[in-house]
Chains A and B, each alone.
Chain A
């Protein structure tokens, strides 16, 4: 339709042609030139009116009016910079909060991976016990699923790994994935440089000595040098050749961290100290991705896989007993597939909170617009008198609020991107950058535009309707002083204030509940003392150390670290409490054979040096700690936690009991395979500690001496008598002395470490987000109350003057104004508290040790709101009390 627009000039030409033709015809009939022209015009009728009708029927007028409105609006806004700034800033804060939350939701829930057929991409995960979260697959299971399932067009996997990438003698710790050769082809990716892994390349163990670099890593480590293709680098000490770089938009299949490198799965065998990856169904390392066949649903695929899982469970009861499969659309499995992800709930709650804050902001702007409309009453009356229709006036006013909203949206997008980049700077995963990638894609864009549109209408509609209903006779006669004091306007303004206060109260209650949860979470007894501990991670494997060399290295490191001034004790461990990696295993108890169909219980495991328990101040309840006498040649020993002791040996003394990691048959004959294959004797019971999650009740966990279970990855933990940060430099130089090329990473105090993703991170982020939103809501409500009260005072100057002339005290005027404001705010608090009671029930699953109706929170929030309201109306109230009756009366 827009294509068929006809220009007014074209129409004018047609009318001219008509008049000329008609005049010519009349001349042919013998009329004179002038007569003919006159007659033609007469026959035509009113030319101007015809033109106007053409104009009004077209779309031109619509655009013209819009353009007029926009130009006029911009002029008005520029004439009142103070008002404009206040309104735009208010809206920008509201829209910014919305943008930030929506972008986070976008990363976790909406944005598809930039790969082929992303809409049909699913995550395949399995679990062995009913109440487990679905997790990774073993290589053999993956092969069986891949061969037998006919519900997928293709299936691939990735195995996330930390590795040392050495170049010119120096190793970098990178996060990388071992992938099969179909990984890149299935995802439909093309290299940014060089080539990706070729078909069948490196699918066999110990083959495929190549590596593909992540795009960001290529830029940062190799300065984006195209000459890197063909270069030799080392991966955990193994020589490999760089063959290519992945495209820039592909940051890897793991949503929140960008991968640095990809290597063929065949390299797993050479990179790891054990090679059970390809042969042991207990070695579950694979994160499996599969593309559904068109028309097949995830649920159908799941049913098909479960048939296969059932077959596997029968064929390999030792390892696959109870196995069930889950097929989850990729977008719902971020960052990890979980039985019940809280991400949609958290996203919804925060979206509700930011919407409320935006609503409060809109009401503020509405109030500002109303107040300004009072000043513009005369202008509007004149426009109406000149023939502007009501619709036209409303449009004019809405255009202005839309302009404000659009400016607010621009500012909001900026604020949103700041918030996101601020979040990315937090490091909940050790040194790894959290990748939230604020991209202004079409989803964010439509959301922000939609929000801005809504904000413009919400903020502008009520004032526009109100103003356009002005009785212009009265207004003009009143000489423009306006009749805004009429009662209708009062309830509108008052209603806005009540709504603002109520909205802020809801947000504040949520913020209060989250803050209380954080406090409660922080007072949880961790079972160890995280204060005054410094963590330094190192992994000699990154430089290609073998076991004897690494063990020698660790011995030296430990003895030198203990000698550092300020160090009380030093120990090594494999994993850090609440860190982002840990180890687990199945345990088989001596004398407790498994029943048919029963799975061996699982337990977490950490290997530590003798001083570990004193470094972390974990209390040994029974038995002994490890000593230097526990060596690779002495009898294997373990220290178990309370849960494990009670669980495996209920109502018995766990000390002296034995268990094995190798199978229920007991130890294998050959003991050369290490601790896994032997009976392990319990020599101590240690207090339960929160190691894997803050809120989960601690599960089975045991510790073995580092000397009896070799791992190359270790964290050096120092208990210090001085501030732990002060030891960072000495420890790093100590490591450099031992090996200048060995990278140390995740160097941080234990206090910071427990604030990571599995620790307090979500509580802290959630509480600080909620608190910021609450503060924002409070601030906006305060401004709203201030605005309305001070406007009311300015309108009632006359009345106040009379009261004072009749003998009212200053104090009583002050009290009058404050009392009236408090009635409004009180109503808002009541409405808000009631609404919050309902809304906060949504939060229950996210709260720690505090009920959703927590009276303390509700009382504090209400009191805070009232106190802030009193503060907000004190200034205008004082102004009212200072009214000089003579001036006020003379003014009339």
Chain B
């Protein structure tokens, strides 16, 4: 049975993927495909998100009340479910981002490269 492996992978993605989604939504409401696209583009295609994996994450965030969702119309006139950052989500993003930056800086210092400086 593959359930356990799925769970392991989810665990691995959880922190970062959640952060990336929250960060993307700061520019305004977006649907799932848009979020996936935005993450890929802003990371200059360094990060690839398996689109399917996005949805469990979106659901999780929604159930925690960090994002809210509503059906709307996309730019090219398609019905899509749009996600919007809530007030609590905004706070969470700030917290998570700070944590991530500290972690990245710390790892950067240990590795001794300039990579962490950005």
Contacts and interface: CB of A to CB of B under 8 A. Distances in A.
A21 B56 contact: no
Interface string A641-674: 0000000000000000000000000000000000
B31 A18 contact: yes
Nearest to B74: A21
B52 A46 contact: yes
Contacts of B81: 13-14, 17
Contact of A44 (B52, B74, B80): B52
B1 A22 contact: no
B43 interface: no
B51 interface: yes
Contacts of A50: 52-53, 55-56
A890 interface: no
B55 A43 contact: no
Contact of B33 (A22, A45, A49, A387): A22
A43 B53 CA distance: 10
Given A44-B51, A45-B50, A49-B52, A21 B63 contact: no
B59 to A, nearest CB: 6
Helix, strand, loop or mixed for chain A's interface?
helix
B69 to A, nearest CB: 9
A619 to B, nearest CB: 87
B32 interface: yes
Helix, strand, loop or mixed for chain B's interface?
helix
Interface in A1-60: 4, 11, 13-15, 17-18, 20-22, 24-25, 43-47, 49-50, 53-54, 57
A9 B43 CA distance: 33
A49 B55 CA distance: 11
Contact of A17 (B1, B37, B80): B80
Contacts, number: 66
Interface residues of B, number: 23
A647 to B, nearest CB: 81
B86 to A, nearest CB: 13
B111 to A, nearest CB: 31
Contact of B78 (A20, A43, A53): A20
A24 B74 CA distance: 12
B46 interface: no
Given A14-B80, A57-B59, A21 B53 contact: no
Interface string B54-84: 0110011001000000000010101111000
B33 A21 contact: yes
A14 B34 CA distance: 12
Contacts of A21: 31, 33-34, 74, 76, 78, 80
Contacts of A24: 76, 78
Contact of B55 (A13, A54, A387): A54
Contacts of B79: 13, 17
Contacts of B56: 50, 53-54, 57
Contacts of A387: 1
Interface in A348-404: 387
A293 B2 CA distance: 67
Contacts of A15: 55
B6 interface: yes
Contacts of A25: 33, 37
Contacts of A22: 33, 36-37, 51
A50 B34 CA distance: 18
A171 B1 CA distance: 85
Determine the interface band of chain A, counting residues with CB < 8 A from chain B. Answer: 20 to 34
B55 A4 contact: no
Contacts of A20: 78
A654 B56 CA distance: 99
The CB with the most chain A CB atoms within 10 A, among B6, B31, B51, B63, is that of B51
B53 A45 contact: yes
Nearest to A4: B63
A501 B10 CA distance: 54
A47 B33 contact: no
A14 B55 contact: yes
A11 B54 CA distance: 13
Contact of A45 (B52, B60, B74): B52
Contacts of A53: 6, 55-56
A49 B36 CA distance: 18
A7 B1 CA distance: 26
A43 B45 CA distance: 13
B50 A44 contact: yes
Contacts of B60: 57
Interface string B75-108: 0101111000000000000000000000000000
A628 to B, nearest CB: 96
Contacts of B53: 45, 50
A481 B89 CA distance: 58
Contacts of B31: 17-18, 21
A45 B56 CA distance: 13
A45 B36 CA distance: 13
A23 to B, nearest CB: 10
Interface in A584-640: none
Given A4-B63, A17-B81, A21-B80, A47 B37 contact: no
B18 to A, nearest CB: 15
Interface string A698-734: 0000000000000000000000000000000000000
A15 B32 CA distance: 9
Interface string B19-58: 0000000000001111011000000000000111101100
Contacts of A46: 52
Contacts of A13: 79, 81
The CB with the most chain B CB atoms within 10 A, among A4, A22, A43, is that of A43
A18 B50 contact: no
Interface in A675-690: none
Contacts of B36: 22, 43
The CB with the most chain B CB atoms within 10 A, among A14, A49, A387, is that of A14
Contacts of B6: 49, 53
A25 B78 CA distance: 12
A60 to B, nearest CB: 13
A45 B74 CA distance: 22
Interface string A101-132: 00000000000000000000000000000000
A320 B54 CA distance: 86
Contacts of A18: 31-33, 51, 80
B63 to A, nearest CB: 7
A39 to B, nearest CB: 11
Contacts of B32: 14, 17-18
Nearest to A22: B33
A20 B74 CA distance: 11
A1 to B, nearest CB: 8
B84 to A, nearest CB: 15
Contacts of B80: 14, 17-18, 21
Contacts of A17: 31-33, 74, 78-81
Interface string A279-290: 000000000000
Contacts of A14: 32, 55, 80-81
A47 B52 CA distance: 7
Nearest to B50: A45
A13 B32 CA distance: 12
A428 B37 CA distance: 85
A830 B52 CA distance: 66
Given A17-B32, A25-B37, A49-B6, 17 more contacts: A13-B79, A14-B55, A15-B55, A17-B33, A17-B80, A17-B81, A18-B32, A18-B33, A25-B33, A43-B51, A44-B51, A45-B52, A47-B52, A50-B55, A53-B55, A57-B59, A57-B60
26 contacts: A4-B63, A14-B81, A15-B55, A17-B32, A17-B33, A17-B78, A17-B79, A21-B33, A21-B34, A21-B76, A22-B33, A22-B36, A22-B51, A25-B33, A43-B50, A43-B51, A44-B51, A44-B52, A45-B51, A45-B52, A49-B6, A50-B53, A50-B56, A53-B6, A53-B55, A54-B59
8 closest A-B pairs by beta carbon, nearest first, are A45-B52, A50-B52, A44-B51, A21-B33, A45-B50, A17-B80, A14-B81, A18-B33
